[in-house]
């Protein structure tokens, strides 16, 4: 048990970093996870539990990977077929990484970008996931007190990854819903000037493309304007492209690598750095395969030395090298994974549209950016928090409130849709729909639902049956009638 005196004692005994809250685990983003941990949903064993929709995991194509692992037992090393390589793998500890690993990852990065651009294996530096890659790049580019500009809304983990141990600051570039959260030149200039007024040295701009939490991609024109902005200011551009292969429909993803190779773009390449990982595109967050790909030789050299603090295990490198070198498998996987994400996105957004819940139009990522602004009692972040608490505690869905992504406008929520099976997704969708029907004035419902709402619960359940037909799966045993919210009516 923690009491005041022991906390004070820890402050004396430990470092400021250890006793401070730089990790940010007190944010609602993590609170939602705790609610899930205390009462996790299970289709049969805990059907009233909290469904985890706060985790951006890609689990829709896992059986393809499992099949590959079964077909390639030598790649796993600790198998009869892999034993021959066991000793060499176990004793290898060079921070350059296995050459075949770097080559395979560089090749994969090119494939994911439609082979419109190639990557040099000698520029691949490994790290413990993109988390480690971001910290490494922050250490290489900035001193304590320096800052990176970051367009909002942005992934909450950046507050920890870039700032906690480095002492670097993040300055929000405020983007707004009225233009679909585009990153404008004026928003960039405003953030830059604000930093200058506060005597903060800006060392770079950090973008996430495709965006977490928006699921949108940056078009070529925006990327070109960002390149010219950072060149004018002589600051770095760090591009987190870890969702590159999650883009599931047109327009196609454009990597910063393609933009700087365009003939008409003038750019000092020493300023450009890509952060990548296999956590999202392959669905391997557990393997902790992160990459810094820098066009700056000095950064590559320094990052490589720093990578000793977060190397990818050689066994994992060996497995990944074998898997990503299998061109036929990789090509099929990339196409099939995108198809499945597209299907999930469509099912989910169409389901929400039935009750007039809108989302930002997107074509990538593992989530939607759901617009619940009109369910807010008032346009404040307190009201967003209150709504979020109801969603967690009563609707039993762990979605993430916009405030935790530094969104400038209350009422947006990120909802992850690729970390669960079809049946769980249907239960989640049904819960949101039930909640929306209970909370909306009849006036804002589409005509068909208005009729349904004005009638009785029997009609309501019929409407869900139609919805189930639409999602092409058998009716789950968990009828909306059993929902605590429906019972409450
Ligand atoms: C934009 C972004 N960057 C980095 C990370 C961290 O990824 P990793 O698991 O590879 O550390 C995440 C994880 O959700 C993310 O969304």
- Residue 450's nearest CA partner among 359, 364, 355, 377 is 355
pTM of the model: 0.88
pLDDT of residue 485: 29
Catalytic residue flag (residue 233): no
pLDDT of residue 8: 76
pLDDT of residue 482: 29
The distance in angstroms from the start CA to the end CA of the chain is 41
Low-confidence ranges of the chain (pLDDT < 70): 1-5, 27-29, 440-489
Catalytic residue flag (residue 240): yes
Structure tokens at 385: 């928090």
Ligand 1 near 208 CB (within 6 A): yes
CA distance 72 to 62: 15
CA distance 105 to 92: 19
User: Which residue of the set 29, 103, 154, 155 is catalytic?
Assistant: 155
> Taking the mean position of all CA atoms in its chain, how far away is CA 236?
22
For residue 318, give the 3-state DSSP assignment: helix
pLDDT of residue 9: 79
CA distance 50 to 69: 32
pLDDT of residue 475: 29
pLDDT of residue 440: 66
- What is the CATH class of 92-325? alpha beta
Length of the chain: 489
Ligand 1 centroid, distance to 395 Cα (angstroms): 27
Catalytic residue flag (residue 143): no
Structure tokens at 122: 């000698």
Topology (CATH) of 23-61+337-488: 3.90.1150
Which atom of ligand 1 lies nearest, measured to the CA of 285?
A: 9
Which atom of ligand 1 lies nearest, measured to the CA of 154?
A: 1
CA distance 436 to 451: 15
| Residue 460: other Cβ atoms inside 10 A | 19
Strand partners, 170: 148
Ligand 1 near 363 CB (within 6 A): no
| Residue 479: other Cβ atoms inside 10 A | 13
Strand partners, 275: 240, 292
| Residue 59 burial (C-beta neighbours within 10 Å; 0-12, 13-18, 19+) | middle
Output phi, psi for 416, to 5 deg: -85, 140
* From-to residues of CATH 3.90.1150.10 in the chain: 23-61+337-488
User: Which residue among 134, 212, 243, 291 is best mutated to probe the pocket of ligand 1, counting the most ligand atoms within 8 A of its Cβ?
Assistant: 212
* From-to residues of CATH 3.40.640.10 in the chain: 92-325
- Residue 21's nearest CA partner among 37, 7, 9 is 7
């Amino acid at each position: 048990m923690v009491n005041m005196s022991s906390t004070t004692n820890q402050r004396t005994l430990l470092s400021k970093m250890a006793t401070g809250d730089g990790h940010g685990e007190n944010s609602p983003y993590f609170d939602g996870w705790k609610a899930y941990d205390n009462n996790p949903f299970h289709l049969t064993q805990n059907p009233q539990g909290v469904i985890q929709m706060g985790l951006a995991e890609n689990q829709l194509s896992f059986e393809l990977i499992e099949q590959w692992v079964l077909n390639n037992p030598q790649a796993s090393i600790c198998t009869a077929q892999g034993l021959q390589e066991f000793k060499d793998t176990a004793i290898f500890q060079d921070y350059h990484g296995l050459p075949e690993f770097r080559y395979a990852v560089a090749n994969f990065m090119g494939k994911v970008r439609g082979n419109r651009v190639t990557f040099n294996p000698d520029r691949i530096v490994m790290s413990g996931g993109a988390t480690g890659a971001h910290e490494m790049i922050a250490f290489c580019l900035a001193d304590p007190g320096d800052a990176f500009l970051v367009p909002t809304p942005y992934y909450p983990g950046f507050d920890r990854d870039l700032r906690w141990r480095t002492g670097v600051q993040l300055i929000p570039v405020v983007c707004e819903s009225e233009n679909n959260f585009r990153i404008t030149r004026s928003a960039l200039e405003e953030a830059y000037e604000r930093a200058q007024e506060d005597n903060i040295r800006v060392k770079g701009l950090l973008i996430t493309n495709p965006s977490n939490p928006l699921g949108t991609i940056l078009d070529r024109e925006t990327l070109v304007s960002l390149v010219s902005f950072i060149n004018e200011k002589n600051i770095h551009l760090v591009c987190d492209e870890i969702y590159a292969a999650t883009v599931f429909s047109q327009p196609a993803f454009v990597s910063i690598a393609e933009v700087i190779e365009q003939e008409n773009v003038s750019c000092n390449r020493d300023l450009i750095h890509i952060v990548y990982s296999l956590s999202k595109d392959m669905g391997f967050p557990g393997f902790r395969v992160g990459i810094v790909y820098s066009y700056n030789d000095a950064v590559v050299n320094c990052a490589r030395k720093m990578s000793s603090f977060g190397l990818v295990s050689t066994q994992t490198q060996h497995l990944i090298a074998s898997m990503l070198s299998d061109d036929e498998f990789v090509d099929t996987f990339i196409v099939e994974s995108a198809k499945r994400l597209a299907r999930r996105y469509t099912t989910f957004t169409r389901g929400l549209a039935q009750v007039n819940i809108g989302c930002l139009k997107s074509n990538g990522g593992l989530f939607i950016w759901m617009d619940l602004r009109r369910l807010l009692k008032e346009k404040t972040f307190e009201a967003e928090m209150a709504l979020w608490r109801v969603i967690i505690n009563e609707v039993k869905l762990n979605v993430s409130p916009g405030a935790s992504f530094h969104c400038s406008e209350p009422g947006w929520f990120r909802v992850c849709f690729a970390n669960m099976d079809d049946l769980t997704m249907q239960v989640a969708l049904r819960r949101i729909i039930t909640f929306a029907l209970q909370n909306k004035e009849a006036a804002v419902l589409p005509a068909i639902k208005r009729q349904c709402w004005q009638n009785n619960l029997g009609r309501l359940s019929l409407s869900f049956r139609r919805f189930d037909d639409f999602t092409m799966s058998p009716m789950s045993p968990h009828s909306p009638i059993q929902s605590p919210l429906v019972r409450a009516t």
